[in-house]
């Protein structure tokens, strides 16, 4: 059994985790980063390919006739043409629900940084600002409590549900767009349509999957329906928002702040309008990547491969 890891750095990182734990299943060849021109050559003789962001289209799969399993090291599996894999008898698996706590934690790290400006004051005090203050305290911003505010969640999957639980613990009112019935939601979550959510939410957090229906769900027109002064957070997928429209809303002050862990193109171009928009807080797609989440990912990956080899595959998406 030959296993090839095509882009292992993001999950394992140097010295933190190791793909070598998979050697119990056979030969393991590890590449930290993919080189598109060499993908097929690197997969020569592979029975199992592990990919995080490397794209597997029909052409790639046709050139690797030994391939039996594509194990996606992520929850989203849009990097694989699943129909082509099915046609060619290749199983595709993913890693569900490994990063729920990690992503939900990032949502509130972002929100609290916006409302309380912890990083700003820490930076100022390193410069001696507090030491030279004539008063025992100083304030550069008006601070607002989040208790009592309305938190709007677009999408109530595992992460959205966890975010709702945390928001409830902070004393926030929660409304959400979801395909679930009201009766199946936690008692503190009120189901709403997108128009109501946009109009009433003080904070909007995006947790829906990226589909043709949700692409640019936040755009120039929908922003006009957002409550003026709202905070927008995106830890879902970059294309859920029209980046130029959000940047314009930040410059005009219609949105008071925007935080995101994802952008439409990663890494972003230097002229991405959000890189220079006011009151914008961007992290480099790391919400999923706590050490605990990546350890869970590794364990689920190992289980996926073991179960496939034993003849009863799990987490199959095609």
Active site residue 310: no
Backbone angles phi, psi at 298, to 5 degrees: -60, -40
SS3 content of the chain, % helix, strand, coil (to 5): 35, 15, 45
Choose, from 16, 35, 195, 266, the residue flagged as catalytic: 266
Q: How far is CA 276 from the centre of its chain?
A: 22
Active site residue 183: no
State how far the Cα of 110 lies from the Cα of 204, in Å rounded to an integer.
12
Q: If you write DSSP's letter for every residue of 64-127 in order, what string do you get?
A: -TT--EEEESSS--TTB-HHHHHHTT-EEE--TTSSHHHHHHHHHHHHHHHHH-HHHHHHHHHT
Nearest to 152 by CA among 181, 169, 173: 173
Choose, from 207, 237, 294, 296, the residue flagged as catalytic: 237
State how far the Cα of 260 lies from the Cα of 280, in Å rounded to an integer.
8
Give 96: exposed, middle or buried? Use CB within 10 Å, 0-12, 13-18, 19+: middle
SS3 at position 132? coil
State how far the Cα of 125 lies from the Cα of 113, in Å rounded to an integer.
16
Active site residue 237: yes
Choose, from 13, 42, 117, 285, the residue flagged as catalytic: 285
Q: How far is CA 271 from CA 133, 219, 230, 242, 285, in A?
A: 38, 19, 25, 15, 18
State how far the Cα of 81 lies from the Cα of 60, in Å rounded to an integer.
10
DSSP 8-state code for residue 243: H
The token pair at 248 is: 């314009």
State how far the Cα of 287 lies from the Cα of 207, in Å rounded to an integer.
13
Active centre residues (catalytic): 237, 266, 285
């Amino acid at each position: 059994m030959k296993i090839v890891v095509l882009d292992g750095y993001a999950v394992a990182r140097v010295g933190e985790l190791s793909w070598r734990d998979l050697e119990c299943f056979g030969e393991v060849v590890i590449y930290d980063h993919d080189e598109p021109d060499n993908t097929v050559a690197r997969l020569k003789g592979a029975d199992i390919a592990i990919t995080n962001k490397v794209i597997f289209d029909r052409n790639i799969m046709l050139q690797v006739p030994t391939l039996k399993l594509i194990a996606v090291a992520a929850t989203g599996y849009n990097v694989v043409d699943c129909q082509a894999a099915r046609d060619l008898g290749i199983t595709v698996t993913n890693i569900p629900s490994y990063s729920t706590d990690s992503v939900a934690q990032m949502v509130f790290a972002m929100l609290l940084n916006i409302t309380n400006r912890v990083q700003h004051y820490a930076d100022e005090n390193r410069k001696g600002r507090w030491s030279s203050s004539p008063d025992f305290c100083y304030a550069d911003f008006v601070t607002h409590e989040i208790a009592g505010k309305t938190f709007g969640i677009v999408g109530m999957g595992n992460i959205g549900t966890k975010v709702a639980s945390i928001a409830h613990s902070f004393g926030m009112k929660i409304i959400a767009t979801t395909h679930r019935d009201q009766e199946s939601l936690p008692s503190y979550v009120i189901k709403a349509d997108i128009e109501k959510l946009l109009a009433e939410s003080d904070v909007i957090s995006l947790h829906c999957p990226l589909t043709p229906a949700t692409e640019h769900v936040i755009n120039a027109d929908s922003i006009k329906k957002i409550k003026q002064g709202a905070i927008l957070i995106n830890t879902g997928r970059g294309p859920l928002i029209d980046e130029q429209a959000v940047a314009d809303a930040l410059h005009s002050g219609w949105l008071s702040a925007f935080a995101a862990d994802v952008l439409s193109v990663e890494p972003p171009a230097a002229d991405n309008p959000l890189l220079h928009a006011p009151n914008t807080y961007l992290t480099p797609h790391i919400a999923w990547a706590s050490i605990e989440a990546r350890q869970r990912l590794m364990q689920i990956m190992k289980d996926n491969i073991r179960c496939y080899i034993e003849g009863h595959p799990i987490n199959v998406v095609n």
